[in-house]
């Protein structure tokens, strides 16, 4: 009977450790996802600034400069958070 309680206690400890690890991983995933979209947003802004400084006009929204390449669509971060 004591052996069953020891096994039950050890299982509970392992489950709590796994839950803590899962929560930390979920929090890190959320941070990385936010960092990714922030970097993508900044990259788009920088690309537009470079194109303006060079004098190239960016292609109109919804149209690609090359018909075989899909158009990059600018999506502000505020619309992603809704």
* 77: confidence class by pLDDT, cuts 50, 70, 90: confident
The residue-averaged pLDDT of 73-80 equals 71
For residue 56, what pLDDT is reported?
73
pLDDT, position 31: 96
d(CA 22, CA 11): 16
Contacts of 37 (CB under 8 A, 6+ apart): 77, 80
| Predicted structure pTM score | 0.55
> What tens digit of pLDDT does each residue of 33-75 get?
999 999 999 999 999 999 888 887 655 555 555 666 666 777 7
In terms of pLDDT, which residue wins out, 76 or 23?
23
């Amino acid at each position: 009977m004591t052996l069953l309680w020891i096994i039950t206690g050890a299982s509970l400890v392992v489950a709590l450790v796994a839950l803590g690890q899962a929560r930390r991983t979920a929090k890190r995933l959320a941070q990385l996802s936010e960092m990714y979209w922030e970097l993508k947003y900044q990259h788009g802004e920088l690309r537009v600034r470079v194109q303006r400084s060079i004098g190239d006009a960016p292609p109109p929204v919804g149209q690609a400069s090359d018909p075989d390449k899909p158009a990059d669509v600018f999506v502000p971060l505020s619309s992603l958070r809704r």
